[in-house]
Amino acid sequence: MNLFDHFAMTIDGKSIAGEAFIDVVNPATGETFARAPDCTPAQLDAAVASAQRAYPSWRARPIAERQALVAEAGQRLMAKAEEMARLFTLEQGRPVGAAKQEIQLGGYWLTQVAKAAPPRHIIEDSPTQRIETDYVPLGVVCAIAPWNFPVSLAMWKVAPALVAGNAMVLKPSPFTPLCTLKIGELFQEILPPGVLNVVSGGDALGPWMTAHPGFAKISFTGSTATGKKVMETAAKDLKRITLELGGNDAAIVLPDVDLDEVAHKIFFGAFFNTAQICVATKRLYVHQDIYEGLRDRLAAIARATRMGDGAEQGTVLGPIQNKRQYDRVMGLLEDARANNLTLIEAGPVPASGYFVPVTIVDDPPEDSRVVQEEAFGPILPMMRFSDIDEVIARANASEYGLAGAVWSSDVDAAIGIAKRMETGTIWVNQNLNLRPDTPFAGHKQSGFGVENGMEGLLEFMAPRSIYVSKAG
């Protein structure tokens, strides 16, 4: 398979060329380097119809067979990681080494979720009756992925949906369609036709999909604003939904930390992938006794961390992934400057492409936009605190509730604080650690439903209870 041209959709187990196209831009240069199919309504209908044809026999297979095929797909993806990493970097911007890790992670997710199976509960088995509850798949699932982790977050959906016995139509972001299209073609060799269809397109395609009557469920990862639209559309025919949405995660750093040890971890928990991570640290609350010490260490790491084209050796942080997001992040910076906030900027960064230097905002007011809004770019507001109760209240004063972190050498005290944070995931003395076997659920406006773990698998299934009378 040539990875670098002939980008085609996968519909009914075949590669389907575009009739129209969308441009794909390299964010490190701002230049178009490829084009991807812009799925037409008729092609979308064909993809949904093919999934509906594939669903009954996929569902009827023993789960062990589905698990084996999903695991094989995972192995195949991991084996392609090295080769596919360069394409990933071209479309997403992340440096090649980290790009390879994400593709491997996507494959790993498939192999691990392939070990899971839904439970079966015997509620009663008495002389008079037997009641048993098991779980059945939903039908055809619509999966919509974002651009920040385009491969792994798509596989978070593919793996449980297919193991559970559903068929799927998957849509990558218009900003990062290419690796996902190639993965669709790669899996044509493994999965029965129609079980996994991959379509790409512009801004119209997502709404067409969520409104399509052929889907039983929508599994969506993206912004909270779009998630609300998806939920509204899904209400029309009561499609099941899982929404993994935005976050504005707080990290709380207590005065007893070893600053030299934690500074690097905190830095990369905020800035890895140029801060375009749903669960990145986006508000950093630091005890006043160590505030300057941590600030100066983070600033030194920022100055020593090379930002540039991910295709170049030695690059650690790439560009903002797309122009729309770049403009948003620049808008937040302008607002910070207009309000005379103190900015500690690293740099220089390349003049072409969508580069924003790592910027630490030095103790901005709590109500500034840069604190209140999800930046999803390399701007980190860092605030002083002195009182634990007060800082927990500030951390929780957010419409979001995705993740958070607590840093302290007193682990028990840190766990006590973690339990008071209103988020679905909290890390103590670590961050960004997510696993296929551990539920990931956004609280408040960060989401609806669960990915990963047994709860994540069951999001693609419905309970079914069978009552059998033994009364004769």
290 token code pair: 């160590």
Shortest Å, Cβ 278 to ligand NAD: 3
Q: Of the ranges 25-33, 93-101, 202-210, 457-465, which one interacts with ligand NAD (CB under 6 A)?
A: 202-210
Count of residues engaged in binding ligand NAD, rule: CB under 6 A: 29
Give the one residue of 106, 404, 442, 449 binding ligand NAD; rule: CB under 6 A: 442
Q: Do the beta carbons of residue 168 and residue 183 sit within 8 Å? A: no
Build a one-symbol-per-residue string for 116-145: x at contacts with ligand NAD by CB under 6 A, - elsewhere: ----------------------------xx
Q: Of the ranges 16-24, 86-94, 224-232, 390-398, which one interacts with ligand NAD (CB under 6 A)?
A: 224-232
- Looking at beta carbons only, is 8 or 145 nearer to ligand NAD? 145
Shortest Å, Cβ 416 to ligand NAD: 26
- Looking at beta carbons only, is 165 or 222 nearer to ligand NAD? 222
Q: Of the ranges 6-14, 81-89, 204-212, 309-317, which one interacts with ligand NAD (CB under 6 A)?
A: 204-212
Give the one residue of 50, 166, 219, 226 binding ligand NAD; rule: CB under 6 A: 226
49 token code pair: 């119809």
Instruction: Specify whether 345 is catalytic.
Output: no
By DSSP bridging, strand 400-401 and strand 379-385 are unpaired
- Looking at beta carbons only, is 55 or 376 nearer to ligand NAD? 376
Of 221, 176, 184, which is closest to residue 80 (Cα–Cα)? 184
Q: Do the beta carbons of residue 170 and residue 198 sit within 8 Å? A: yes
Shortest Å, Cβ 280 to ligand NAD: 9
Bridge partners of 361, per DSSP, are 343, 381
Shortest Å, Cβ 205 to ligand NAD: 7
Q: Rule CB under 6 A: which of 340-379 touch ligand NAD?
A: 374, 376
In this structure, the chain runs to a length of 472
User: Of residues 91, 102, 185, 244, which has the active-site annotation?
Assistant: 244
Q: Rule CB under 6 A: which of 259-278 touch ligand NAD?
A: 278
Quote the CA–CA distance of 387 and 105 in Å, as a whole number. Answer: 39
Of 153, 136, 135, which is closest to residue 144 (Cα–Cα)? 153
Shortest Å, Cβ 436 to ligand NAD: 14
- Looking at beta carbons only, is 226 or 315 nearer to ligand NAD? 226
CA dihedral 153, 156, 162, 164 (to 10 degrees): -150
Question: Residue 292: CB partners within 8 Å, gap ≥ 6?
Answer: none
User: Of residues 278, 345, 374, 451, which has the active-site annotation?
Assistant: 278
Decide if residue 436 touches ligand NAD (CB under 6 A). Answer: no
Bridge partners of 447, per DSSP, are 244
Give the one residue of 223, 305, 372, 409 binding ligand NAD; rule: CB under 6 A: 223
Q: Do the beta carbons of residue 199 and residue 9 sit within 8 Å? A: yes
**Alpha carbon distances (Å) from 125 to 42, 119, 120, 469:** 50, 17, 13, 10
- Looking at beta carbons only, is 44 or 262 nearer to ligand NAD? 44
Give the one residue of 210, 408, 423, 445 binding ligand NAD; rule: CB under 6 A: 210
- Looking at beta carbons only, is 147 or 407 nearer to ligand NAD? 147
- Looking at beta carbons only, is 292 or 437 nearer to ligand NAD? 437
Decide if residue 59 touches ligand NAD (CB under 6 A). Answer: no
- Looking at beta carbons only, is 345 or 451 nearer to ligand NAD? 451
Q: Rule CB under 6 A: which of 151-170 touch ligand NAD?
A: 153
Give the one residue of 41, 207, 365, 416 binding ligand NAD; rule: CB under 6 A: 207
Q: Do the beta carbons of residue 142 and residue 199 sit within 8 Å? A: no
- Looking at beta carbons only, is 134 or 373 nearer to ligand NAD? 373
Decide if residue 146 touches ligand NAD (CB under 6 A). Answer: yes
Of 289, 250, 87, 66, which is closest to residue 160 (Cα–Cα)? 66
Shortest Å, Cβ 338 to ligand NAD: 24
Sign of CA dihedral 256, 259, 264, 266: positive
Instruction: Specify whether 39 is catalytic.
Output: no
Give the one residue of 92, 148, 274, 425 binding ligand NAD; rule: CB under 6 A: 148
- Residues forming contacts to ligand NAD in the complex (CB under 6 A) are 144-149, 153, 171, 173-174, 206-207, 210, 221-223, 226, 229-230, 244-247, 278, 374, 376, 402, 442, 447
Residues labelled catalytic: 244, 278
